[in-house]
C-alpha cells in the first residue's frame, strides 16, 4: 500500500477525473526572518480571530513570533520575479510557489531574506487509489434489515449499528450527560467531501449551520464537495446524524472542512498544505483537529521518510501538528494502515509528541492487522489509544451507511468524543484533556506498541477531570457482570486497612445509594450490589471513596 490515507475505500476512483495530469514543479521557499513585518505580537486581531485568541487565553498561551504571518514584502519580492505564490506558512516562515521560468531561481535564491529553496515534484500516478483502500476488505454496504437492531442503552439517541463504536469509548455516556459537541469547533483536514452537501447523513449539520466553511489548500478555492469522498466518510464518524443508522460522536459540534490532500499524487507539498490548513484552523479558533492522513512514501522516492524520521521532530507535518498543539488545539491522528510489511510502523504526523494517535480494533477490541504499530523511533508509546476502525459504520458514497476499515475512522470516532469531553471541561488545557484520556484507558498501567494505552473511556476521563484519581497498580477495582439486568459484583483490592464509601450515581450526578465498608490490609474484597433491578436501563457511575482518593467505574443496567 502506498501509504497513508487510511480507509477501506473505494468503489469508483477510476471514474474520478483529476485536473492535474502532468508533472508540475513547485518550490518551497523558507525565509530567514520576519523582520520589518507590518504585523506585531501586540495586535493579534490582525491575523487571529477572537475565538483563536480566547483559546490561547484560557490555556495561558502567549502570542509569539511564530504566530506572525510571513512578511508581505518578502512575498511581493517573489511575485515580482514571476513566482505564483500557492500557500504561505507562518509557522515555518515560508511559501510554496510555482515558477514557469526556472532561470529566475537564482535570483530568488539571492534575495537577502531567502534562507533556502527546495524543489517539489508533483506527479500523478496510475495507482493513486492505493492510498484509499486496504487489502484486507472493501467497504460493505449495510442492508436495511440490519439497521435499528443494535441495543441502545442511551435511549435519547438511536445510533443504529454505529452504537458499538460510540459505546466502546464511552461517547454514548458523554451524550447522555448532554455533551454532544455543542459550542466546539472541529477542523477536519482531508482529501475531499464528495456530496456531503446533499447526503442525508449531514442534513442536521446543514440545517443548523454546523459547517462553518470550506477551504481547498490544494487548488486555492473553497470548493470541496466535488472532490474525493474520503473526508465525507470521515466526517460522518463525528458529525453524522442519521437516526437508526449512524450518530457520530460529536453530532452537535461545528466543522471546518479543509482539503489538504491531493488524491492523485503523493508529495511533500501535501505536508505543507496540511501545515497551512492547521494554521488556518488555528486562526479561526478551532478546538480540535482530526487528521485521517499520514505520510511515509512519496511519488518522488528521494523525499521518502524513513522510520528514523518517526521521532516526533523531523517531518514538516509532525512539526506542524505539535505547533498546533502548542497554540492550544487538540490534534487526533490516524496511526496508519501500514501494520503489515514492508512499513509496519506509524506514519507522520502520528509520531507527534502531543498528538493523540489512534489505532484500530474491531468491535471485540481485537487489534486490526492493518493498524500501524509503534514505538516511535525515539522509543515513545504509539499509538496512544485504539477505537473501532475495523468494521466501522460510516456514511456511504451515494447515501445510506456502510461498514469499512481503516484507522481513518477510529481517529474521528475518537476526535468527536474529545470534543464532547472538552465541552464538559472547558477550563482544562488540551494537554490535561490528553492526559485524562490516556489515564482512562484499558491498559494504562501496561501500554504497548500495538494498542498503546488501550481503549479509552471518555466517561471515566470526565470523572478524572472532575477530580477522581486513577487507580494505581497496588489497588484493583472491577465490576461484573457489566452490563447486567439484576445485580453487580464489586471486586476491590485494598493495600491497607481502611473504610471505603460505596456510592452509585446516575449520569446526571444524582446519588442513588451509599454505604460504608471496612476493608482489611492486603485484602481482596468482593460484595454484591443488589436492588438495581428496579433501576431504569442506562449508564450509572459506581464510586469507591477511600481516605485519599476516589475511584469510579461505568456500569450499565440493561
For the stretch 242-285, pLDDT in tens is: 999 999 999 999 999 999 999 888 899 999 999 999 999 999 99
Answer whether the bond into residue 319 is a cis peptide, omega within 30°.
Answer: no
pLDDT tens figures, 50-72: 999 999 999 999 999 999 999 99
Is 60 exceeded by the pLDDT of residue 544? yes
State pLDDT tens for residues 119-166. Answer: 998 887 655 445 665 533 446 667 655 555 444 544 478 999 999 999
Position 464 scores a pLDDT of 85
Residue 131 pLDDT: 62
- The reported pLDDT for the residue numbered 145 is 55
Task: Report the candidate in 424, 430, 394, 425 with the shortest Cα–Cα distance to residue 411.
Answer: 394
> What was the pLDDT predicted at 17?
38
Q: Find the helix or strand (DSSP H, E) in which 538 lies.
A: strand 538-545
pLDDT per residue as tens digits for the range 163-214: 999 999 999 999 998 999 999 999 999 999 999 999 999 999 999 999 999 9
Residues 6+ apart with CB under 8 A from 178: none
pLDDT at 20 over 80: no
pLDDT at residue number 138: 45
Q: What is the pLDDT of residue 9?
A: 39
Query: For 70-101, what is each residue's pLDDT tens digit?
Result: 999 999 999 999 999 999 999 999 999 998 88
Cα–Cα distances (Å) from 143 to 147, 235, 400, in that order, read 7, 21, 9
Percent of the residues in the chain that have a pLDDT greater than 70, as a whole number: 88
pLDDT in tens, 213-231: 999 999 999 999 998 999 9
CA angle 86, 92, 95 (to 5 degrees): 20
Confidence category of residue 340, pLDDT binned at 50, 70, 90: confident
Provide the mean pLDDT of the chain.
Answer: 88
Q: List residues bridging with 89 in a β-sheet.
A: 94
Q: Are 64 and 41 in contact (CB under 8 A)?
A: yes
Grid cell at residue 490: 464489586
Cell representation of residue 129: 487509489
pLDDT digits (tens, 9 = 90+) for 25-45: 899 999 999 999 999 999 999
Nearest residue to 421 via CA among 166, 154, 184: 184
pLDDT of 304 reads 93
DSSP string, 120-163: EEE---TTGGGGG--SS---EEPPGGGTT-S--SSTT---GGGH
Give the span between the Cα atoms of 104 and 109, in whole angstroms.
9
The gap from C-alpha 305 to its chain's centroid, in whole angstroms, comes to: 22
Cell of 402: 456502510
Looking at the chain, the whole-number percentage of residues with pLDDT higher than 90 is 66
The pLDDT value recorded for residue 135 is 32
> Angle, to 10 degrees, between the axis of helix 407-424 and the axis of helix 230-239?
40
pLDDT given for residue 12 in this prediction: 36
Domains of the chain by range and CATH? 24-122 (3.30.70), 145-465 (3.40.50.200), 476-557 (2.60.40.1930)
Predicted pLDDT at 508: 65
Work out the average pLDDT over 1-28.
50
pLDDT tens figures, 441-479 = 989 888 999 999 999 999 889 988 887 554 443 446 778
Residue 493 has pLDDT above 90, yes or no: no
The DSSP 8-state label assigned to residue 532 in this structure reads G
Q: Is 8 helix (H, G, I), strand (E, B) or coil?
A: coil
Give the model's pLDDT for residue 245.
94
Q: How confident is the model at residue 487 (pLDDT cuts 50, 70, 90)?
A: confident
Contacts of 423 (CB under 8 A, 6+ apart): 179, 181, 182, 183, 184
Amino acid at each position: 500500500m502506498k501509504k497513508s490515507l487510511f480507509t477501506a475505500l473505494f468503489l469508483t476512483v477510476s471514474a474520478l477525473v483529476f485536473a492535474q495530469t502532468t508533472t508540475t514543479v513547485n518550490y518551497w521557499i523558507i525565509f530567514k526572518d520576519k523582520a520589518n513585518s507590518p504585523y506585531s505580537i501586540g495586535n493579534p486581531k490582525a491575523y487571529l480571530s477572537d475565538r483563536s485568541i480566547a483559546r490561547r487565553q484560557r490555556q495561558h498561551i502567549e502570542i509569539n513570533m511564530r504566530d506572525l504571518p510571513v512578511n508581505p514584502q518578502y512575498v511581493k519580492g517573489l511575485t515580482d520575479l514571476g513566482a505564483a505564490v500557492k500557500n504561505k506558512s507562518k509557522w515555518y516562515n515560508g511559501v510554496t510557489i510555482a515558477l514557469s521560468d526556472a532561470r529566475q531561481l537564482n535570483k530568488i535564491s539571492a534575495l537577502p531574506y531567502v534562507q533556502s529553496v527546495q524543489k517539489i515534484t508533483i506527479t500523478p500516478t496510475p495507482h493513486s487509489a492505493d492510498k484509499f483502500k486496504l487489502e484486507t476488505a472493501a467497504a460493505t454496504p449495510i442492508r436495511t434489515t440490519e439497521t435499528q437492531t443494535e441495543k441502545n442503552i442511551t435511549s435519547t439517541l438511536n445510533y443504529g449499528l454505529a452504537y458499538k463504536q460510540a459505546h466502546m469509548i464511552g461517547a454514548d455516556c458523554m451524550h447522555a450527560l448532554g455533551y454532544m459537541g455543542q459550542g466546539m469547533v472541529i477542523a477536519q483536514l482531508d482529501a475531499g467531501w464528495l456530496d456531503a452537501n446533499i447526503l442525508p447523513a449531514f442534513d442536521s449539520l446543514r440545517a443548523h449551520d454546523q459547517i462553518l466553511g470550506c477551504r481547498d489548500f490544494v487548488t486555492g478555492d473553497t470548493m470541496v464537495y466535488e472532490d474525493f469522498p474520503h473526508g465525507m466518510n470521515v466526517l460522518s464518524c463525528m458529525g453524522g446524524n442519521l437516526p437508526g443508522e449512524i450518530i457520530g460522536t460529536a453530532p452537535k459540534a461545528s466543522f471546518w472542512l479543509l482539503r489538504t490532500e491531493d488524491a492523485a499524487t503523493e508529495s511533500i507539498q501535501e505536508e505543507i498544505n496540511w501545515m497551512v490548513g492547521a494554521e488556518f484552523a488555528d486562526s479561526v479558533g478551532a478546538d480540535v483537529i482530526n487528521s485521517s492522513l499520514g505520510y511515509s512514501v512519496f511519488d518522488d522516492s528521494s523525499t521518502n521518510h524513513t522510520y528514523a524520521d518517526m521521532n516526533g521532530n523531523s517531518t514538516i507535518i509532525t512539526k506542524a501538528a505539535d505547533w498546533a498543539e502548542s497554540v492550544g488545539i487538540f490534534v487526533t491522528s490516524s496511526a496508519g494502515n501500514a501494520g503489515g510489511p514492508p512499513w509496519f510502523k506509524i506514519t507522520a504526523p502520528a509520531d507527534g509528541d502531543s498528538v493523540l494517535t489512534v489505532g484500530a480494533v474491531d468491535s471485540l477490541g481485537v487489534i486490526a492487522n492493518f493498524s500501524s504499530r509503534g514505538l516511535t523511533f525515539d522509543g515513545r508509546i504509539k499509538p496512544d489509544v485504539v477505537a473501532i476502525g475495523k468494521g466501522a459504520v460510516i456514511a456511504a458514497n451515494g447515501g445510506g451507511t456502510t461498514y469499512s476499515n481503516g484507522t481513518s475512522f477510529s481517529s474521528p470516532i475518537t476526535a468527536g468524543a474529545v470534543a464532547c469531553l472538552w465541552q464538559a471541561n472547558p477550563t482544562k488545557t488540551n494537554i490535561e484533556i490528553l492526559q485524562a484520556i490516556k489515564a482512562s484507558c484499558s491498559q494504562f498501567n501496561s501500554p504497548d506498541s500495538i494498542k498503546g494505552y488501550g481503549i479509552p473511556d471518555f466517561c471515566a476521563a470526565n470523572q478524572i477531570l472532575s477530580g477522581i484519581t486513577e487507580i494505581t497498580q497496588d489497588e484493583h477495582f472491577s465490576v461484573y457482570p457489566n452490563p447486567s439486568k439484576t445485580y453487580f459484583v464489586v471486586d476491590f483490592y485494598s493495600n491497607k486497612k481502611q473504610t471505603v464509601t460505596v456510592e452509585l450515581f446516575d449520569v446526571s450526578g444524582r446519588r442513588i445509594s451509599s454505604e460504608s465498608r471496612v476493608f482489611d490490609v492486603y485484602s481482596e474484597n468482593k460484595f454484591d450490589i443488589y436492588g438495581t433491578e428496579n433501576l431504569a436501563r442506562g449508564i450509572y457511575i459506581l464510586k469507591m471513596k477511600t481516605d485519599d482518593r476516589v475511584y469510579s467505574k461505568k456500569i450499565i443496567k440493561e
